[in-house]
Chains A and B, each alone.
Chain A
Amino acid sequence: MDGHPLVFEAVTLNHGLTLDLQVPAHCAVSIVGAEDSGVGCLGRYALGLERPASGKVLVLGEEIGTMARRHALAFRRRVGYLPAGDGLLQNLSLYDNIALPLRFGTSLSEREIAGRMRIMVTMVGIGGVAQHRPAAVNEEQRRRAALARALALNPSLVILEQPFDGLTVAAAAELLELARGGETAEGSMRTVFIVGQHLPEILRRRIEFCYRLGRSGLEREN
């Protein structure tokens, strides 16, 4: 389990494809594919938000899809998740969005949360707009806030859905580095699993395993 924080075992996708994939720890792994390939569901399968027709997904050695709801919710706090389209709550400021997992999932005091938040908003570069609501900032700032929220509980595994769509290459590269969380002797600090329809060429150099999901199945690209 330690070597593979995320494992897809015979997971059925569209067009009769079956996915078998092991995501090694301390690596970034990406899968790109057409919209109708089913690639967009992989993150949801991993978090147990949706169940595949057949097969199973193991996250940190556990199958969230079979857990009782209460346990599944608690377990998901161990995984960072950036959903497609950012998923920020529109009636909260970026600051409150990022602080939400800390307020809900930890017993930290508001003062301790404020301390952590200062570091996080500076780290993702949204210090100047943190008190704005998502509708009042641009797409890049929203994506930065959504990534900060995904990293708020310092997870060892991060699942990113279409994280770089609509961003400049420089911004995408910066977000990828933030998601990786720095380098250790074993590789990146966090395990990063990215799904989407497109990946900028330059990012492939910082992703250890790039796959494409085509009609014939999963093909490694680098």
Chain B
Amino acid sequence: MLAPIAGLGLEVTRRVSELGALARFVWEALASARSLTRAGRRVAFRVFANQLWFTALQAVPLIIALSGILSFLVISQAVRELGRLGATELIGTLMVVAIVRELGPLLTALSVAGRSGTAIAAELATNRVMGEVDALEGMGIDPQHYLVLPRLGAAIVSVSSLIVLFDLVAIFSGLVAAVANGMSTARYFDIVLRSLSFGDAGLSALKGLVFGAIIGTVPCFHGLRVRRAATEVPIASSRAVVVSILFIFLGSAAFVAVR
């Protein structure tokens, strides 16, 4: 009769211990930055630049498409429906609250997690399975320096930049939708810019930092956790993306709660 309770307890213990291991991994990664030599920084920067290419630049078309379509649809509907009620002023609030403040960072982070998070976890898990991580350690190269820190830095920079891109495209796509539905450009910008504040920009930047850190660390943690079997690689990728998405949603909720 106690078996289900014991099972539940075991599961909770496992999850908490996993969370502890993740926290320790993040701490060790950040602490390892202190011992990065000048020569090591040069090598790490190359990896960082490669990651930036893959995580940020190659994701640009996806972010433009997502943001453009979403904003066009939302603003088209809003101009039409709110116009009937004579409340077109509210599209500024809609644009800022719904798209710039919430959906922009969230959708950007989810896209990067789905695209790059899985790739990072799969790559690092393969590194581990192929003995490359041990080879690095054997050569005196800290895998945190070579594998984790550049990916963490690149994820933070990428997510932050892509959020800015998402917001800009959303604003201009919203303009196209508004103009197509009879609103003048000047009036659109007047409404939207009046609703935008520096606080929104700051919040977006903070979200970029937090979501980028999640995408930079969770997949690295799960990727490097595998041992020797190739069958663990897809499991690590899938777990990495699920946990990243969960943390991104929890982070998003925490931002709303704190505000």
Across the interface, which residues of B come within 8 angstroms of A70, CB to CB?
Answer: 35
Q: Does A166 contact B (CB under 8 A)?
A: no
Proximity string of chain B (185-205) to chain A, C-beta cutoff 8 Å, 1 when within and 0 when not: 000000000000000000000
Give the residues from 26 to 41 in chain B that come closer than 8 angstroms, CB to CB, to chain A: 35, 37-40
Partner of A89, one of B35, B132, B140: B132
Is residue A216 contacting chain B, with contact meaning CB distance below 8 A? no
A117 within 8 A of B: no
Q: Any chain A CB within 8 A of the CB of B43?
A: yes
Cβ of A133 < 8 Å from any Cβ of B?
Answer: no
Q: Is the CB of B131 within 8 A of A87?
A: yes
> Chain B contact residues (Cβ within 8 angstroms of A): what range?
20 to 34
Q: A87-B134, A88-B132 are in contact. Are A101 and B127 (CB under 8 A)?
A: no
B40 contact from A49, A88, A104, Cβ within 8 A? A104
Interface pair B135/A87, CB less than 8 Å apart = yes
Q: Is the CB–CB distance between B39 and A81 below 8 Å?
A: no
Is B146's CB within 8 Å of the partner chain A?
yes
Q: How far, in whole Å, are A45 and B171 apart by their CA atoms in the complex?
A: 59
A74 in the interface, Cβ–Cβ < 8 Å? yes
Closest-CB distance, B151 to chain A (whole angstroms): 13
Q: Are B140 and A73 in contact (CB under 8 A)?
A: yes
Q: Is the CB of A87 within 8 A of B140?
A: no
A95 to B42, CA, bound (A): 17
**How many residues in A have their beta carbons less than 8 Å from beta carbons of B?**
28
Say yes or no: is B130 at the interface (Cβ < 8 Å to chain A): yes
Chain B contacts of A90 at CB under 8 A? 126-127, 130, 132
Indicate with 1 or 0, residue by residue over B109-130, a CB within 8 angstroms of chain A CB atoms: 0000000000000010011001
Contacts of B137 in A (CB 8 A): 47, 49, 73, 76
Taking the nearest CB of chain B, how far is it from the CB of A120, in angstroms? 15
Residue of B nearest to A91 (CB): B123
Q: Roughly how many angstroms separate A105 CA and B146 CA in the complex, as a whole number?
A: 12
Chain A min CB distance to B64 (Å): 27
- Kindly report which residue of chain A lies nearest to residue B50, judged by CB atoms: A91
Q: Are A100 and B141 in contact, CB atoms less than 8 angstroms apart?
A: yes
B134 touches A44 (CB 8 A): yes
B139, A77: Cβ atoms under 8 Å?
yes
Q: Is the CB of B39 within 8 A of A104?
A: yes
Is B182's CB within 8 Å of the partner chain A? no
A88 neighbours in B (Cβ, 8 Å): 132, 135
Asked if A209 lies at the interface with its beta carbon under 8 angstroms from chain B, I say no
B135: chain A residues within 8 A (beta carbon): 81, 83, 86-89
New A-B pairs, 11, CB < 8 Å, besides A88-B132, A100-B139, A105-B39: A73-B141, A74-B140, A83-B134, A85-B130, A87-B130, A87-B131, A87-B135, A89-B136, A100-B43, A104-B146, A107-B38
Q: Tell me the A residues contacting B by CB distance below 8 Å.
A: 44, 47, 49, 69-70, 73-77, 81, 83-91, 100-101, 103-107, 149
By a beta-carbon cutoff of 8 Å, the part of chain B in contact with chain A is: 35, 37-40, 42-43, 123, 126-127, 130-132, 134-142, 145-146
15 inter-chain pairs at a CB distance below 8 angstroms, sorted by A residue, are A49-B138, A69-B142, A73-B142, A86-B135, A87-B130, A87-B131, A88-B132, A88-B135, A89-B135, A90-B126, A101-B139, A101-B140, A104-B145, A105-B139, A106-B39
